[in-house]
């Protein structure tokens, strides 16, 4: 297989489709022919054909795959290409710069809008109507459906018609392809949005693997349920037609003391199932962006649906605490936002994980909304032994200078605190020019951690 010539599309989280780059070239050639013919037909130049529909569209299905739809109609292909061409082969649209010599101005029927720096032609709805409908009014109306909010172009975040001025015709709006679709089309990769005020979520990853996770058996069993759901969701819902009874989403609540592996587990669930995990920090959102919150959250949920992400709401305490108080107007506003968020979480058809350190505030009605409520305990001495063994580099322990068993049984530390001890020891080994760790240094690191937690020894 010639990899240079292929792009991989992550279709369904786990499924990969192989697409030949060449397909796009074929579409561009087809589009140019259509454009040429539509202009000739409109100006009644001599030509053999009577309609653009006589030029068959490439019947390859790659473009539809990338648009996450089973197929594309002739018109959809043209509109989609029209939105993409300014980004990949802008000169093709130069045809539309011909002047209407009767009036010494551009042709109204071509539409088009002016960019700030781009000197080429940028299409509007009118441009699509010119190519596909010409003077045919009925066809023009039909075309409007492609730009509807119910159409998959809008729903799958592929393209929109934008900037329609007040009182101006709808088709005068610019046709804009989304960065998300363009990235997928040109590189085959998923567009991974960056954290910003309008997108208050960050992708979290981990170099660790499932084998590094150390938790009591019963907790692992509960987490396996989530894995099973992700792997078998389609069978469970579709095959047995349980969609009337079971909501398609899966909501999990992780609670427990700091540093016990809640974030790590959520991240590993994504890694194991080839899904991106996006972490939304609720404490930050709700306090900082009052008013904007709903819009920003909606943005995250909308993107998450299309992309098969796991949504991870960290520090979810903000959701429970404020629900019942109604103090000043800020509180009421926050309550509204929380109600909105809970509704979105409940309706979300994918996997949502909420994490918190507190459980006391979670009322029963709230807990009922979750399919998995999992407690992450502090590790007991056996688990601490496992954790130390996995965390301490072999080079540090192979000479037998440290008694991990006794350290594990003596000091009650979370996995997170242990990672801090390891980091501290590594630093000191370097700065003190030691060759490896010894018991004294480990004690020192552990003491520092316990001191932080208020457990002085």
Binding site for ligand ATP (CB under 6 A): 212-215, 258-264, 357, 376, 387, 415-416, 419
CA angle 221, 247, 66 (to 5 degrees): 95
CA angle 400, 403, 394 (to 5 degrees): 50
- 122: number of Cβ within 10 Å: 21
**What sign has the CA pseudo-torsion 69, 75, 77, 82?**
negative
Q: How far apart are CA 235 and CA 248, in angstroms?
A: 11
Looking at beta carbons only, is 53 or 451 nearer to ligand ATP?
A: 451
Q: Which does 214 bind (CB under 5 to 8 A by kind): ligand ATP, Mg ion, none?
A: ligand ATP
φ, ψ at 444 (rounded to 5°): -60, -50
Q: Which residue is it, tokens 């979810």?
A: 316
Q: Which does 270 bind (CB under 5 to 8 A by kind): Mg ion, ligand ATP, none?
A: none
Q: Which does 68 bind (CB under 5 to 8 A by kind): ligand ATP, Mg ion, none?
A: none
| Minimum CB–partner distance for residue 197 and ligand ATP (Å) | 23
Q: Which stretch binds Mg ion (CB under 5 A): 31-39, 246-254, 255-263, 333-341?
A: 255-263
| Minimum CB–partner distance for residue 396 and ligand ATP (Å) | 16
Contacts of 94 (CB under 8 A, 6+ apart): 120, 121
Q: What is the DSSP letter of 124?
A: B
Q: Which does 260 bind (CB under 5 to 8 A by kind): ligand ATP, Mg ion, none?
A: ligand ATP
Residue at shortest CB range from Mg ion: 263
Looking at beta carbons only, is 147 or 376 nearer to Mg ion?
A: 376
Work out whether 263 is an interface residue with Mg ion (CB under 5 A). Answer: yes
Looking at beta carbons only, is 80 or 280 nearer to Mg ion?
A: 280
| Minimum CB–partner distance for residue 436 and ligand ATP (Å) | 21
Looking at beta carbons only, is 24 or 204 nearer to Mg ion?
A: 204
Classify burial at 410, counting beta carbons within 10 Å of its beta carbon; exposed 0-12, middle 13-18, buried 19 or more.
Answer: middle
| Minimum CB–partner distance for residue 218 and ligand ATP (Å) | 13
| Token pair listed for 68 | 């996450």
Report the interface residues with Mg ion, using CB under 5 A: 262-263
């Amino acid at each position: 297989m010639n990899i240079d010539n292929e792009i991989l599309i992550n279709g369904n989280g786990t499924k990969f489709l192989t697409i030949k780059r060449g397909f796009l070239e074929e579409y561009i050639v087809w589009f140019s022919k259509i454009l040429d013919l539509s202009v000739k037909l409109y100006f009644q130049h001599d030509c053999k054909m009577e309609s653009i529909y006589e030029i068959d569209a490439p019947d390859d299905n790659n473009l539809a795959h990338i648009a996450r739809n089973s197929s594309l109609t002739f018109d959809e292909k043209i509109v989609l290409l029209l939105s993409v061409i300014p980004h990949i082969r802008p000169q093709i649209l130069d045809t539309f710069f011909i002047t209407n010599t009767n009036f010494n101005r551009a042709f109204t029927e071509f539409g088009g809008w002016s960019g700030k720096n781009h000197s080429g032609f940028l299409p509007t709805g009118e441009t699509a109507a010119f190519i596909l409908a010409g003077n045919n009014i009925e066809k023009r109306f039909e075309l409007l459906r492609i730009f509807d909010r119910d159409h998959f172009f809008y729903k799958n975040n592929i393209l929109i018609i934008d900037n329609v001025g007040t009182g101006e015709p709808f088709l005068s709006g610019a046709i804009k392809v989304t960065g998300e679709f363009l990235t997928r089309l040109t590189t085959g990769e998923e567009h991974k949005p960056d954290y910003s005020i309008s997108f208050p979520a960050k992708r979290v990853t981990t170099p660790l693997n499932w084998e590094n996770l150390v938790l009591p058996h019963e907790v692992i069993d509960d987490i396996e349920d989530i894995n099973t759901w992700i792997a078998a969701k389609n069978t469970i819902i579709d095959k047995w037609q349980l969609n009337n009874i079971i909501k398609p989403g899966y909501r999990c609540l992780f609670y427990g003391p700091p540093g016990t592996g809640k974030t790590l587990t959520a991240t590993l669930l994504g890694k194991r199932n080839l899904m991106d995990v996006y972490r939304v920090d609720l404490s930050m959102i709700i306090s900082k962006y009052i008013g904007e919150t709903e819009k920003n959250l909606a943005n995250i949920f909308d993107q998450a649906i299309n992309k098969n992400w796991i949504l991870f709401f960290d520090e979810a305490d903000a959701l429970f605490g404020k629900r019942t108080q109604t103090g000043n107007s800020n509180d009421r506003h926050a309550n509204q936002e929380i109600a909105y968020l809970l509704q979105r979480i409940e309706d979300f058809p994918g996997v949502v994980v909420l994490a918190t350190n507190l459980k006391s505030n979670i009322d029963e009605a709230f807990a009922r909304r979750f399919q998995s409520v999992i407690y992450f305990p502090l590790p007991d001495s056996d688990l601490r032994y496992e954790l130390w063994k996995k965390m301490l580099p072999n080079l540090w322990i192979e000479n037998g200078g440290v008694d991990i068993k006794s350290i594990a049984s003596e000091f009650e530390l979370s996995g997170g605190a242990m990672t801090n001890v390891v980091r501290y020891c590594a630093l000191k080994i370097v700065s003190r020019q030691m060759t490896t760790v010894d018991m004294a240094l480990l004690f020192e690191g552990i003491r520092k951690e316990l001191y932080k937690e208020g457990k002085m020894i």
